[in-house]
Amino acid sequence: MGVKMKKTNLEFLSLLKSSLKNEKYDGEKIDFEDLVYIYKMSEIHHVVPMIYNAAYNEDFFKECDANFQAMFKSSAFRYIFSQIQRTNHFLEVYKKLSEKNIKILVFKGIIFRNMYNNPDDRISSDEDILIKKEDYKKVKEFFLSEGFEFIDKGEECAYFSKNTGLCIEVSTSLFSHESKAYGHLNKLFEDVFEKSIKINIDKIDILTLSHEQHLIYIVFHNMKHFLTGGFGIRQVADFSKYIETYGEYINWEKFWSDLKDLNYDTFALNLIEISLKYLGFNDDKITYPANITSFDELKNSQKYYINSESLINDILDAGVFGASTMDRKHTALMTLDAVEDKKKSNRLKAVFPNVNYLKDNYTYLQKYPILLPVAWGQRILSYLKKNKTSSYINTMELGKQRIELLKEYKIIK
């Protein structure tokens, strides 16, 4: 029997859908109490910039508590700004590694962000790279010479930059060979380097998994997280976005047969149902098992157990009740925003100029004011690229000071 979804969860998904499709929110008016809950949800599911992007221009948002509006905005821009820093740093590092003729495959992270309308709205806490075992030592020497800290994690390791907060996870296999639950999944990725492809991101050719292997990896990775309790709605969005972006390159017959051999096909079909129901997913590029082209036809055939209601409720509710310190975080952010409002530095204005300035410089804003956060993101990016002199350093210093202040307020660790 189906589980009825909470109104606030439906509103949250409706806002997320608007952001994913780059369309105006078309749901019901959201009251303030629900909006506070939706903000908490967006923090837990790491989609704050996306939800802000969909909500900030709506009347119900403009009419709600001014401190809350300021806090939400401040939070969204903090995420976008730090993501831009990490992305730029990663691309620099990738370029240097490539020049050393070390073959590395980038997966998830930046590859997924590139599929979104506003890439830096899709936050990645880290970047993932796959290397060959024989290159492990060379890669370690490189990262240490670049000032990264080494973090040993057993079968894999990570490198962390204190300057930008960039964390790069380095693996020699996609799943732990020691794991009884996932070790056998590596069989499908034995030829991952041979099948690798290039995707151009910001004029840099990034080596990554073939589209077929990447999509099947997403399903496996989502299941792994589902089993260990850390599965979020953004992972579902990544899955459906990948199909929308690269679906024509997938050999669907092989995809379904590989999943069926491992009993993962039902799980994938339920992810598709969630995407169709709640995320505005366009499944035109999919061929379903047995050459069926319509999801409804597949569901009606009753060959598969498709009932995603419990799964979506489980995904949405995971962790909500554990976020006991969230209210204190809100209060701290509101205070911070109020302090900033009183004494804004000129350097901060250089990065975050007023709306009229942006409208003159980013003409699409006049037609689509909902894209204001995007313009701010572009402004930060161009500022970081152009000002490589002292003003750039000052801005970076200011960024660091703000992060320190956020730490004092216990907003970030």
For residue 129, how many other CB atoms are within 10 A of its CB?
23
Domains of the chain: which residue ranges?
Answer: 7-75+326-408, 76-320
- 393 close to 387: Cβ distance less than 8 angstroms: no
Across all residues in the chain, what is the average pLDDT? 80
Helix (H) or strand (E) holding 149: strand 149-153
Q: By C-alpha distance, which of 389, 330, 319 is closest to 44?
A: 319
Q: Which residue type, as a one-letter code, is found at position 206?
A: I
Separation of alpha carbons 410 and 412, rounded Å: 5
Write b or e for each residue in 275-290: b if 16 or more Cβ atoms lie within 10 A of its Cβ, otherwise e.
bbebbbbebeebbbbe
Return the CATH number of 76-320, one of 1.10.10.10, 3.30.460.40, 3.40.640.10, 3.30.1320.10. 3.30.460.40
Where does residue 254 rank: exposed (0-12), middle (13-18), buried (19+ CB within 10 A)?
A: exposed
Task: Give per-residue pLDDT as tens, 159-185.
Answer: 999 999 999 999 999 988 877 767 788
In the chain, what's the furthest Cα-to-Cα distance? 66
Token pair belonging to 86: 């990490």
Contact 168, 153 (CB under 8 A): no
pTM of the model as a whole: 0.76
- Partners of 158 in beta bridges: 151, 169
Q: How many CA atoms lie within 13 A of 74 on its CB side?
A: 24
Residue 330 banded pLDDT, cuts 50, 70, 90: very low
Q: Which of 77-81, 221-225, 323-327 has the lowest mean pLDDT?
A: 323-327
pLDDT digits (tens, 9 = 90+) for 368-388: 555 555 555 555 555 455 544
Four-CA torsion 224, 225, 229, 230, nearest 10 degrees: 170
The answer to whether 306 touches 267, Cβ cutoff 8 Å, is no
Instruction: Give the pLDDT band (50/70/90) at residue 291.
Output: confident
